Homo-oligomer: A and B are copies of this chain.
Amino acid sequence: MPRNPHKSDFPVSQVRHYLEPGPIVLVSSRWKDETNIMTMGWHTVMEFTPSLVGCVIASSNHSFEIVRKSGECVINLPTTALTDTVIRIGNTTGAETDKFREFGLTREDADEVEAPLIRECHANFECRLHDDALVDRYDFFIFEVVKAHVAASPKHPETLHYTGDGVFVVSGKVISRRSLFRPGML
């Protein structure tokens, strides 16, 4: 994958195309002069419109307070071109490290939020906190995706799916079963 994939606007109501398959994502955030990145695997689509995504950002993560104070983040989709970087991001803390500089990633300005996009990722989903009802109890944030940027190709990027124990499953072949769906289910 190019280090600077060209991206276009993408309908926020369709982010399920990239998130529902369950990839590991990178969450970037900003509070005042500080930016950070974390690796995240616990997330789910919750609604098409508004475009809602729920996710666990554990309070032990340095990003937790940044996201809570700013009420924003960007969910970035890395491909296998960034496998080792994704893991290193998950195994360092932003309390000690500027992860953008440490890992050679590029901050890009978002359109709707202050949190930075990660240029080298396949897609970037700008998020604003929609509901914090379960943050205290479960570290569970519900975000609205307010802007989406996606590289034009490939349509099905090779993504990382975490199983624990340092082991990932990579997304594989694509199969269409459109003919089995009722029209209203597509």
Chain A residues engaging chain B, CB cutoff 8 angstroms: 14, 16-18, 20-23, 41-47, 52, 54-56, 83-84, 87-88, 90-91, 131, 133-134, 137-138, 140, 142, 156, 161-182, 185-186
A-B contacts, 18 listed (Cβ < 8 Å): A17-B163, A20-B161, A20-B162, A20-B163, A20-B164, A22-B22, A41-B45, A45-B56, A87-B181, A91-B185, A133-B133, A156-B169, A165-B176, A166-B179, A167-B177, A170-B172, A170-B175, A172-B173
Q: Does A142 contact B133, Cβ atoms closer than 8 Å?
A: no
List, in ascending order, chain B residues with CB within 8 A of A175's CB: 83, 167-168, 170
Q: Does B20 contact A20, Cβ atoms closer than 8 Å?
A: no
Q: Does A169 contact B46, Cβ atoms closer than 8 Å?
A: no
Q: How far is the CB of A51 from chain B (nearest CB, A)?
A: 13
Q: Which of A18, A22, A156 has the most CB of B within 10 A?
A: A22
| A interface, over-half SS | mixed
Q: Which of A14, A137, A161 has the most CB of B within 10 A?
A: A161
Closest B residue to A182 by CB, please name it: B91
List, in ascending order, chain B residues with CB within 8 A of A16's CB: 41, 163-164
Q: Does B161 contact A181, Cβ atoms closer than 8 Å?
A: no
Q: Cα distance A176–B175 when bound, in Å?
A: 25
User: Of B54, B87, B169, which contacts A180 at CB under 8 A?
Assistant: B87
Q: How far is the CB of A122 from chain B (nearest CB, A)?
A: 14
Q: Cα distance A142–B84 when bound, in Å?
A: 32
Q: How far is the CB of A88 from chain B (nearest CB, A)?
A: 7
Q: Does A138 contact B142, Cβ atoms closer than 8 Å?
A: yes
Q: Does B44 contact A169, Cβ atoms closer than 8 Å?
A: no
